[in-house]
A = this chain, B = another copy of it.
Amino acid sequence: MESDVAVVREIVSAIRSVVGGGRTVLHEPVFHGNEWRYIKECLDTTFVSSVGAFVDRFESDLTGQSGAKYAVAVVNGTAALHIALLLADVKPGDEVLVPSLTFVATANAISYCAAQPHFVDSEERTFGIDPERLRHYLLATTCQRDETCVNRSTGKVIRAIVVTHVFGHPADLDALAAVASEFNTVLIEDASEALGSFFHDRHLGTVGLIGTLSFNGNKTITTGGGGAVLTNNSELALKAKHLTRVAKLPHPWEYRHDKVAFNYRMPNINAALGCAQLEQLSFFLDSKRKLFEAYKEAFNGIEGVKLVVEPKGCRSNYWLQTILLDKDYSHLREPILQATNEVGIMTRPAWVPMHQLIPYKQCLAMELPVAESLGERLINIPSSPGIME
């Protein structure tokens, strides 16, 4: 067995062999398309804000890309999650099942609804919720009342399951959809990281009743800040539009609103960027897949670590390339993060699992050994689409 120092050195070299010398960020966007032209069009027409042709076009392009019937562009991925939960009819006091191993925005969005995150465990194969263990947990702890799922210990309704597709890798959607249906909870897909990823032939975010996307600066495509709600249900799509546009009733001049609602619209200038970025999606995806192949070769044979591969039968966007340390190498996570960042190779661990964060420590949770273990063993490595150019 090699020394720890040697393994760390090998990992740094493997990354260097792919990304070259110099400072390398984790993920930066590439603007090689019509970004300039479309943004200039916004400035020339003065339509930079909440009304504009690029918002409509971006929403339409997203449906074309994802196969969802409807897409509603919003100001960021967190806003998309918030709206998705409201569309699922999550009410104050409800519980929402959510993996502990995801970005904190998902739990925050549940908090905005005055509902409670209820953490469930992940599986090592997909990094998504483990459907089999979830099913056993719900069988043991819930009952059905008026066709809703009720937590027997709290008496609260478990209204929805939010499935995150971690780093763009598809969770086991068929099995999770079956569990959601069996227990009468709404399936929401947090596909923030998963534009361009497919579960078999279905784009992520289109299997659940509602899906969400993010276009933050570090995502596969960016709008500066932005997100979208996907659904095949026309009523929910209309409701999403209404809720994100301060519930203003249509009228040529009158300002009348029929609900407590939100200012979550994506500005036209951000949508313009999105339209141009979306045109280059297949280039980005190809580039990310090539990067994956290059890393696979580079990491081949290094002991204690493996490069993460898309689940069988699925197609991942390989948003963030990821290495997973073997269990008896997890003590190397910090040294690897230290060594890589020190030489200007930006890397990061997975999120601290949410049940370990101060604001969510007291939340309900099943046993979470896999989330905890993965949290200690995952490292994201540089993944920009233009990195090998």
Contact = CB atoms under 8 A, between A and B. Distances in A.
B76 A263 contact: yes
A224 interface: yes
Nearest to A386: B46
Interface stretch (A103-111, A152-160, A161-169, A296-304): A103-111
A65 interface: no
A348 B256 CA distance: 12
A147 to B, nearest CB: 28
A35 B43 contact: yes
A218 B77 contact: no
A31 interface: yes
Contacts of A267: 217, 224-225, 270
Interface stretch (A125-133, A176-184, A351-359): A351-359
Task: Determine how many copies of this chain the complex contains.
Answer: 2
A: interface residue count bin = 35 or more
A310 interface: no
Interface in A84-120: 103-105, 107-108, 111-112, 114
A129 to B, nearest CB: 19
B224 A270 contact: yes
A265 interface: yes
A81 to B, nearest CB: 10
A269 interface: yes
Nearest to A379: B253
A252 B359 contact: no
Interface in A212-266: 216-218, 222, 224-225, 246-247, 252-263, 265-266
Contacts of A67: none
Interface in A37-94: 39-40, 43, 46-51, 75-79
A244 to B, nearest CB: 11
A341 interface: yes
A75 B270 CA distance: 12
B265 A108 contact: no
A206 interface: no
Nearest to A226: B267
A185 interface: no
A383 interface: no
A336 B39 CA distance: 37
A347 interface: yes
A319 to B, nearest CB: 15
A337 interface: yes
A104 B257 contact: yes
Contact of A216 (B50, B76, B224, B262): B50
Nearest to A48: B224
Contacts of A75: 75-76, 225
A279 interface: no
Nearest to A104: B257
Q: 3 closest Cβ contacts across the A-B interface?
A: A49-B217, A224-B267, A78-B263
Given A31-B46, A257-B357, A269-B273, 8 more contacts: A35-B43, A75-B76, A108-B261, A224-B269, A252-B341, A255-B352, A257-B359, A259-B358
Interface of A: 28-31, 35-36, 39-40, 43, 46-51, 75-79, 103-105, 107-108, 111-112, 114, 216-218, 222, 224-225, 246-247, 252-263, 265-270, 273, 337, 341, 347-352, 357-359
28 contacts: A30-B46, A36-B40, A47-B217, A48-B217, A48-B224, A49-B222, A50-B216, A50-B217, A79-B263, A105-B263, A107-B260, A108-B262, A108-B263, A111-B260, A217-B268, A225-B266, A225-B267, A253-B348, A254-B348, A255-B350, A255-B351, A255-B352, A257-B357, A257-B359, A258-B359, A259-B359, A269-B269, A270-B270
